[in-house]
């Protein structure tokens, strides 16, 4: 029998197994060891599934092979790619037993000690369980190989796991066929070498960053009188009765003023969807569970959402931002990581975020839009995704404008009348219970959402960079309201793309003194209103630049 020190030093990436079956007593002892692992808040969130079926093993192997091609293409060099493609993973079908270790995210629906700072603590508990299982199996003369090169969404579907179940991977269990000279595979290939000793450093002082200040959003006050008059003259000289193109004429003049030219052009139009979770969602204010935020972000990244379709249709670049989703996304995704935390806290129980987190939102929003402006984009649309963010936006609208909360609440994702009444009671109570200062910043920190604050900051940055700013529906308009309170000049850059089916949106547009381009009863969010309205904006630019004048066409004026 090996002692603990010998076991810990032994190789653990077992890839080849004998056909010897794993006795029930061995697996029972190993799983019990996993159960003894630390469990944050004593949640018992770690779940185990045994796989003995050859059919299921083969299906998992096929899933691995399919995803393995993608992994091979991500290697650093051609030599690495060749080495990687030469590797085989017979163990999935070869090992007598398969084990799936999962953690159950549904435990987060209730308050759990140890998960407030990071709800990923339930994942960490599951990893501790996996380590205990490996230790127990190795002590008994068996071993376990961890397969993580999988499309986890397909893996879950194949096994019939619910959306709340998150697998760590697929584990091959059995009697090891070799000890590989007790060297990890990558070390045997001279691909990577494990250091002889751990990296240890003592931290001896508290590190504090200088106070983060809100980025200064300054706009040069330009003499635009002559440009405005020239644009109006150019519009009036087109071969049409004066004013006959209606809103298109207003748009054309606005765009020319924003870009400071008589011949404006839309360059590299970009739409940014900011996504985050909200603590208020735990109070049953939405028709959908909070995990839909994460699911929809994955849908955006896969190209399957409405905003993907409309952006593709109208040749608009699409960027997705994780402003604070309650999930850790893959580092290899195209997602822009600007996560402040894994969702805000519930403002029914205290501030949604700290003032420091609010400042971080300003900084992140500024950085994201600055980077987009540097690509040459001069037109940016804003969209959002976040279960519970209609409630957050309603409260923000009420506390900023003074409009009664009952006039700021709508059905959001389509809640029932009964749930709408409950939503009204909760949000009214939250406002009545607020004991913070009357300053805008304190109200924003207490009631705000990460994605809303990042959008507000991004809008101010877009104005600073003389970009045309496309505003989507209710929630994006609330973000604009915040930006407007900080710099009223931003109104000159904004195009309000549609008036949503949320009853509060029309009231907010009236408060701002603006009109929306479209009335389509949209209430999806995602920036869909911006993408749908974009061809109209292009039409305004097109007629200004390409339509003949009375003089050039030889047409008599009135």
Q: Residues with catalytic annotation? A: 526
CA quadruple 469, 474, 478, 479: dihedral, nearest 10: -40
Three-class SS state of 315: coil
The residue to which tokens 């068996």 are assigned: 142
Dig out the tokens for 147 from the structure: 């397969």
Buried b (16+ CB within 10 A) or exposed e, 156-194: beebebeebbbbbbbbbbbbbbeebeeeeeebeeeeeee
277, 344 Cβ separation under 8 angstroms: yes
Instruction: Determine contact, residues 498/533, Cβ cutoff 8 Å.
Output: yes
481 CB neighbour count, 10 Å cutoff: 20
Q: What is the C-alpha separation between 220 and 256, in angstroms, rounded?
A: 17
Tokens of 307: 């905003």
- Beta-carbon contacts of 391 under 8 Å, excluding residues fewer than 6 positions away, are 278, 280, 281, 285, 286, 409, 412, 423, 426, 427
* Those residues with Cβ within 8 angstroms of residue 230's Cβ, 6 or more apart along the chain or in another chain: 262
CA dist 316 and 320 (Å) reads 13
Helices (H), 47-192: 54-72, 78-86, 91-94, 121-139, 152-159, 185-188
- Crossing angle (nearest 10°) for helices 528-546 and 225-236: 80
Cα–Cα distance between 295 and 126 in angstroms, integer? Answer: 22
Rounded distance between C-alpha atoms, residue 252 and residue 247, angstroms? 9
């Amino acid at each position: 029998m090996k002692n603990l020190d010998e076991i810990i030093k032994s190789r653990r990436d077992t890839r080849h197994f004998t056909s010897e079956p794993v006795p029930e007593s061995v697996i029972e002892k190993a799983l019990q060891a996993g159960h003894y692992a630390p469990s944050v808040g004593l949640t018992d969130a770690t779940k185990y599934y045994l796989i003995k079926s050859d059919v299921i093993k083969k299906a998992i192997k096929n899933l691995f092979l399919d995803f393995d091609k993608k992994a091979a293409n991500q290697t650093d060099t051609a030599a690495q790619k060749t080495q990687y493609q030469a590797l085989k993973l017979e163990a999935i079908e070869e090992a007598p037993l398969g084990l799936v270790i999962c953690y159950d995210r549904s435990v987060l629906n209730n308050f759990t000690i140890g998960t407030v700072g990071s709800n990923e603590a339930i994942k960490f508990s599951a990893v501790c369980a996996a380590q205990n299982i490996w230790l127990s199996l190795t002590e008994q003369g068996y071993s376990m190989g961890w397969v993580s090169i999988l499309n986890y969404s397909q893996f879950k579907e194949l096994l019939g796991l619910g959306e709340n179940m998150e697998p760590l991977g697929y584990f091959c269990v059995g009697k090891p066929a070799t000890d590989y000279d007790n060297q990890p595979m990558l070390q045997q290939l001279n691909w990577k070498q494990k250091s002889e000793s751990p990296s240890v450093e003592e931290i001896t002082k508290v590190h504090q960053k200088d106070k983060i200040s809100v980025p200064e959003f300054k706009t040069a006050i330009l003499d635009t009188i002559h440009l405005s008059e020239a644009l109006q003259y150019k519009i009036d000289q087109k071969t049409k009765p004066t004013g006959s193109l209606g809103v298109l004429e207003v748009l054309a003049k606005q765009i020319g003023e924003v870009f400071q030219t008589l011949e404006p052009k839309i360059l590299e139009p970009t739409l940014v969807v900011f996504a985050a979770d909200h603590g208020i969602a735990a109070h049953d204010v939405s028709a959908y569970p909070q995990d839909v935020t994460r699911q929809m972000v994955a849908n955006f990244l896969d190209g399957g959402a409405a905003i993907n379709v409309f952006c593709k249709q109208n040749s608009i670049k699409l960027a997705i931002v994780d402003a604070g989703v309650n999930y850790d996304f893959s580092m290899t995704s195209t997602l822009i990581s600007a996560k402040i935390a894994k969702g805000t806290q519930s403002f029914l129980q205290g501030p949604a975020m700290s003032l420091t987190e609010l400042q971080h939102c300003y900084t992140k929003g500024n950085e994201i839009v600055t980077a987009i402006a540097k690509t040459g984009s001069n037109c940016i649309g804003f969209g959002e995704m976040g279960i519970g963010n209609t409630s957050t936006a309603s409260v923000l609208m009420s506390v900023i404008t003074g409009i009664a909360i009952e006039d700021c609440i709508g059905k959001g994702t389509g809640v029932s009348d009964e749930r709408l009444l409950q939503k009204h009671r909760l949000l009214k109570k939250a406002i009545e219970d607020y004991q913070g200062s009357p300053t805008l910043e304190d109200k924003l920190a207490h009631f705000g959402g990460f994605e809303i604050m990042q959008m507000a900051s991004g809008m101010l940055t877009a104005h600073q960079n003389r970009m045309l700013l496309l505003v989507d529906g209710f929630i994006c308009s609330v973000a604009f309201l915040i930006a407007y309170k900080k710099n009223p000049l931003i109104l000159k850059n904004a195009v309000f793309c549609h008036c949503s089916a949320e009853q509060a949106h029309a009231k907010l547009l009236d408060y701002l003194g603006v009109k929306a381009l479209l009335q389509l009863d949209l209430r999806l969010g995602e920036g869909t209103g911006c993408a749908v309205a974009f061809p109209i904006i292009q039409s305004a630019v097109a007629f200004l630049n390409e339509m003949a004048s009375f003089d050039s066409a030889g047409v008599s004026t009135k």
